[in-house]
Structure 1
Amino acid sequence: MEIGEIISDSVKYPTSDWTKIIILAVILIIPIVNFIGIGYVIRIMKGTLAGLDDLPDFEEVGELFIDGLKLLVVGIVYAIPIWIISAILGVIIGLLSPASTVTYMDTTSTAFLVTMMASYAAVVIAAIIVGLIEIVAILNMAYYDGDLGAAFRFSDILNYISTIGWGKYIITYIVIALICAVIMAVAGLVGVILIGIGLIITIPLAMSFCYMFGARAITTLFSDALGETA
């Protein structure tokens, strides 16, 4: 399926049941309970992988809650490399800080600035790469019916990305991000127009829509990869 078709299908997907958009929006703003909403993303992925075109029901909330906790675990584990890289670069930047020396201030300042910019760029690039891999890791977990270990089967995950094609994957991700950015911006504007308090309504609704839209789009792309690697 082409990117345009994936996006078109995924934009329509949440609108098949506005009640569920509202339910998810309410769930997402309630602490602890919001793990149910996060777990709902896994259910959307499972449904899409199964070829279903309707939004799944909010039943068996215990399973949704557990899936939400699993996503938290996956997020923490995948964040560890970024934390390590940031810590190492932080130490290097600290050693090169102009405040740590009293000689050759100009040279040190330049080296510090260059190192700081390069370090920031390295962390951002690493975070993007890890983030892209993490998304497919979550999809793999959904494919294996919530098996947490599937999120760390790196050979499978990288194989799926290779089948999709890094280029197509990144372009799809960027399109999804841009659409969600526009939706969130519009929601914020409308919320402000509604005397500010409208933000309590519009932002959660926009988040709910983007959760559903994004999960559907990426999973549809992943489904194509599964078909090609089957």
Structure 2
Amino acid sequence: MILDIYKDALEYSAKDWKTLVKLGLICLFSFLLLPAFLVTGYNYRVINNAVHGVINGRDPLPEFDEWISMFIDGVKVVIVQILYLLVPIIIFLIFAIIAVNTTGIASSIIMLIGCIIAFVAFVVGVLMAQMGLCHMAYNEGAFSKAFAINEIKEVIDEIGWFECIATILGLIIITLVISSVVSTIIGIIFTAFGVSTAILGLDPSAIFILGFMVNSLITMFLVGPYLSIFNSRSLGLLYTMQV
């Protein structure tokens, strides 16, 4: 099941390079903050398509239209993610305060216990946030459904906690591998050009600067958007795996 999700999402994300470039252009101005919400809003549309679709279906990539609606969806996504991640942060801070006001080995033990509990809460919070977004999309964007804890837990129970966590871990690994491989290939190519330039007695610094710029552009306009769509599609399809 998990491999089928990855296969579908990898192929789906590569359907239209023009869409990747458009998303990359928006990402380019994400430092202005407002465009960042458009990026998360677009990824939410990818999730929405997935939760209403099937694995290996013929779902098209979402269109870049209704910008205000996409922006609002992006804001909702960010709020959901922040609120779920506040829980482990609060747990960590509570234990940290208690540990600071405790002396000796008891302080270290309390801090260790706090870190373990906070980490578990973080894993659960990430999973609940992602499935909460899928649940919100499945229920026509109803914001309250992102926090319908019992309903979301039932979804995860039906899919399987192990399967959900394994899928997300797999997404992290695949994302890191693809990013690393692309950067490594570009690095090797321009390193070879740089060494060749140096052998000829020329200054290779311009080659290395160009390599850095090419790597940044490819990451910004192709790899980054591709991976964001890949992750969103995968999570949406995972949601559809309910019994």
CA distance in 1, matches of 2:114, 2:223: 34
Segments of 5+ residues of structure 1 without an aligned counterpart are 98-107
* 2:99 aligned with 1:82: no
Instruction: Summarize deviations over 1:142-172 as a string: whole Å, max 9, x none.
Output: 1122211110111110110011011111111
Aligned residues with identical type, % of pairs? 26
Alignment partner, residue 78 of structure 2:
72
Q: Aligned match of 2:39 in 34, 37, 40?
A: 37
Alignment partner, residue 21 of structure 1:
20
Q: Aligned match of 1:57 in 57, 63, 68?
A: 63
Q: Which has the higher contact order (CA 8 A, sep 6+)?
A: 2
1:39 Cα shift?
A: 0.4
- State the TM-score, normalized to the length of structure 2: 0.81
Q: Aligned match of 2:217 in 201, 204, 214?
A: 201
CA distance in 1, matches of 2:5, 2:85: 28
- Say whether the 8 Å CA contact 2:51–2:134 is kept in structure 1: no
- Aligned residue type for 1:203: T
Alignment partner, residue 170 of structure 1:
165
CA distance in 1, matches of 2:226, 2:48: 18
- State the TM-score, normalized to the length of structure 1: 0.85
Segments of 5+ residues of structure 2 without an aligned counterpart are 191-209
**Number of aligned residue pairs:** 214
CA distance in 1, matches of 2:113, 2:163: 27
Instruction: Summarize deviations over 1:178-225 as a string: whole Å, max 9, x none.
Output: 101112223444565553223431332322112111111121121121
Q: CA RMSD in A?
A: 1.9
Q: Aligned match of 1:161 in 151, 156, 164?
A: 156
- Say whether the 8 Å CA contact 1:45–1:215 is kept in structure 2: yes
Q: Give every structure 1 segment of 4 or more consecutive aligned residues whose post-TM-superposition deviation is greater than 4 Å.
A: 190-194
1:62 Cα shift?
A: 1.1
Q: Aligned match of 1:117 in 109, 112, 116?
A: 112
Alignment partner, residue 217 of structure 1:
234
